[in-house]
Structure 1
Amino acid sequence: MALNCDFRVLADDARFSMAEVTLGLVPDLGGTKRLTELVGASRALEICVTGRRISADEADRIGLATAVVPGADLQGAVADLAAAVLAADAGAVSEIKALLAGAPQRSYAEQDRAEREAQTRRLRDLMGTE
Structure 2
Amino acid sequence: METNYAFLVIEDNQIDQFITKQLFKKILDISEINIVNNGKEGIKWVCENRKIINESLIILLDIQMPIMNGSQFLLEYEKLEDELKRRTQIFMLSSSLDTDEIENLKSNVYVTDFLNKPICVKEFGKRIYSNL
Structure 2 length-normalised TM: 0.28
Q: Please identify which structure carries the higher helix content.
A: 1
More strand by percentage = 2
